[in-house]
Homo-oligomer: A and B are copies of this chain.
Amino acid sequence: MCEANAYIINGEQEDLFMEKVDRVIPENGQLILENIFGQKKIIKAQIKELALVDHRIILKRNEGNEE
């Protein structure tokens, strides 16, 4: 299975936000993440980088009114 783990940048570090993510859908400045179990999480963030071979999705929180 080729799901990835989603991490959110928190200062100098990356915090695990969701494991085994299958789908990511940007919508209205938010991201809808769905894992392989069908569970969903919504976060006001952007994709900063995908590194699929490493199974990594790096997210960055939106600041202020930025989308």
- Shortest Cβ distance from residue A43 to the other chain B in the assembled complex, whole angstroms: 14
Q: Which chain B residue has the least Cβ–Cβ distance from A26?
A: B47
Residues 15-36 of chain A: 1 if any B CB is under 8 Å from the residue's CB, otherwise 0? Answer: 0000001111110000000001
**A51–B26 CB distance below 8 A:** no
- Shortest Cβ distance from residue A15 to the other chain B in the assembled complex, whole angstroms: 20
Q: Does A63 contact B (CB under 8 A)?
A: no
Give every chain B residue within 8 A of A52 (Cβ-Cβ). Answer: 2-4, 21-23, 52
Give every chain B residue within 8 A of A53 (Cβ-Cβ). Answer: 1-3, 22, 36
What are 6 of the A-B contact pairs (CB < 8 Å)?
A22-B52, A24-B50, A26-B46, A26-B48, A36-B53, A50-B57
